[in-house]
Amino acid sequence: MKIASIVLVVLLVLFGFNSVFVVNEGQSALLLQFGRIVRADYAPGLHFKLPLMQQVVPLDARLLELDAQPERYFTAEKKSVSVDFYVKWRIADNAAYYRATSGDQIQAVQRLTPIVKDALRFEFNARELQDLIAGSRRDITERVRQSTDTAARRSLGIAVLDVRIKRIDLPDEVSESVYQRMRAERLQLANELRYTGQEAAERIRADADRQGQVLRADAERDAAKVRGEGDAQAAAIYAQAYGQDPEFFAFYRSLAAYKRSFQDGKGVLVLKPDAEFLRYFNDGGAKR
């Protein structure tokens, strides 16, 4: 009787432990009863189940990554490219995920990979190589994410959160043709920029020349005006001086003429002694 009681207590303890399960942080769980899903939305914490009859299947609720091997695709013009990519995903529907993969993450990755590759193949086949080089990766990855997310949710219970292309490698012959095209495009752009710069420089020089001509014309006009005013003032002074003493004014003008004639020291004049130009060198001039 005592042994039977001990056995009963042990069985009760085992049944008690078997009726309690814990879902850890970063996990979710579903409950099976004879292979049939009873509940699929257990959150982290302590939960209860029927001992022996029900089994708990823990599932990873964290963000997971698919890092596939590089895949070779063909562009619209049948040029080969090698694409290295990765995918961020998580379980969206525990029940659908379990039915599709039996809760095996490796099997889930194996089934998700061809879905992503087919979507990438469709996008690359629809685009030319130049578009890929010009920077259409973001558009490609977003379209691939949307299409794979729809397909993976429906068939695997998986949500595809992000698809990224890490690298696109080109074969050597394709790389050379692409680099030649890029060099030609950059050379064309440089020539356009150089032509634009020369055109702008010509406009600036023409504008500067025009402004210089305007400034010179204004300066010459102002100078002519000042010279005219000076000449007028000089003429007025000469007239005033002549009016006050005509003989002295004539004498002063003669001295100025002598100075201009002999200032280089080499001038030679052949004149008659009674010439008007020498009037102030004769006796009549001395008397004055």
- Whether the per-residue pLDDT at 162 is higher than 90: the answer is yes
Bigger pLDDT: 219 vs 7: 219
In this structure, the number of other CB atoms found within 10 A of the CB of residue 184 comes to 10
pLDDT in the model for residue 52: 77
Torsion angle (degrees, nearest 10) of CA 278, 279, 283, 287: -140
Specify which residues 60 forms β-bridges with.
27
Q: In 44-122, at which residue ranges do the beta strands (DSSP E only) sit?
A: 45-48, 54-60, 64-67, 71-74, 80-91
Distance CA 99, CA 37 (A): 9
- Whether the per-residue pLDDT at 6 is higher than 90: the answer is no
pLDDT in the model for residue 276: 64
Specify which residues 162 forms β-bridges with.
88
Average pLDDT, the chain: 81
In this structure, the number of other CB atoms found within 10 A of the CB of residue 69 comes to 8
Q: How far is CA 223 from the centre of its chain?
A: 55
Confidence of residue 50 (pLDDT cuts 50, 70, 90): confident
DSSP strand pairing (54-60 vs 20-23): unpaired
Q: Which is nearest to 144 in space by CA: 169, 125, 170, 117?
A: 117
Distance CA 260, CA 269 (A): 12
List the single range of 50-54, 204-208, 278-282 with lowest mean pLDDT: 278-282
pLDDT per residue over 83-124, tens digit each? 899 999 999 999 999 999 999 999 999 999 999 999 999 988
- Whether the per-residue pLDDT at 31 is higher than 80: the answer is yes
Distance CA 236, CA 253 (A): 15
Confidence of residue 146 (pLDDT cuts 50, 70, 90): very high
Residue 136, classed as helix, strand or coil, is coil
In this structure, the number of other CB atoms found within 10 A of the CB of residue 171 comes to 13
- Whether the per-residue pLDDT at 282 is higher than 50: the answer is yes
pTM for this one?
0.56
- Whether the per-residue pLDDT at 63 is higher than 80: the answer is yes
Print the SS3 string covering 209-270: HHHHHHHHHHHHHHHHHHHHHHHHHHHHHHHHHHHHCHHHHHHHHHHHHHHHHHCCCCCCCC
